Structure 1
Amino acid sequence: MDRSLLENLAGLMIHKGHYFARIYSCIPASKELNISSAVCLGIINGTEGGCSATELKEMSCYDKALISRMLTDMQNDGYIIRNPEDKDKQRGMRYIPSEKGKILGDMLSVEFLKISSEVSKDIPKEDLKTFYEVSCKLINNLGEYAGELESVKLEKGK
């Protein structure tokens, strides 16, 4: 792949993250959760019957370790609870928003929808879908690459 294209893609991802963080910091409810947790709370809040960690990973593009930490933190902070209707606690455990999580999730959903509709205007839905799928792949690849770098670093440190 052309080096300048790779540099442009990396720059785009950095700028995207920077602008999103700036927008997110202007939302009053953002003081309670970081961006990643807010995204996950929004997904859990908007899914009938809640979400399992695996479903959350697929819908958010975050890695398994981050999902696990966020679920634990959000549960400890009272934003989510385990779905009491789950029969099998070990497989497919689902999380639902607590009352506190539902209120905050609803507030954030309204803001995210407003932002999403504004930034995606004049872009065909098919292009947005393709962009989302490619972005998820890039983010996953970046995570795998970072993991590989970390393991090489640990091996050299022996």
Structure 2
Amino acid sequence: MNLHFKKPQKLKPSSKFFVRAKPLESGRGFHAQFSAPGLVPELVGGDNRPQVFPTEDAALLAAYQAQEAVLNARLQLRMRFEKVQKMSAVELSAALDEADLTPTELGWICQTDRVMAWLDGTYDIPHMVRVIVGLCKEPENVDRAESITGASVIERTRQ
């Protein structure tokens, strides 16, 4: 069984995770629908048409299984082709200490909210952060990074 089927529609990408059982207009079953942030909602099915499930529970289970398969496929695809080891939050924290940087100082370059999300494990830490923190172990590179960033800051006046 093909776990998901994209029905040709003009749907917007979802802003949250969801699974739902959509009752058929005829009242004789349910379609299973799922989505994740950034994905267009999809119906579970095969042979280019959505599958009909006899009960709401069966449709929900199929939607959960399809969502799990899509999310795990993304993880496996990313891991298969990466050539660098991403930093963990603990490694980033230790690297910041070693470079004598605070999260706020790194945030001056990479946005403070992102740095905090990396440190609490909400988001993967991109490889460029390892490079930037490594370069910032030398004080002249910190000064250079601050001057480059400072030159691109646009000051706005409040109205």
- Could you say whether these structures have the same fold, taking a TM-score greater than 0.5 normalized by the shorter chain as the test? no
Task: Tell me the TM-score range normalised by the shorter chain.
Answer: under 0.3
More helix per residue: 1 or 2?
Answer: 1
More strand per residue: 1 or 2?
Answer: 2
- Bigger Rg, which one: 2
State the structure with bigger RCO (CA 8 A, min sep 6), 1 or 2: 1
TM-score (norm 2): 0.27
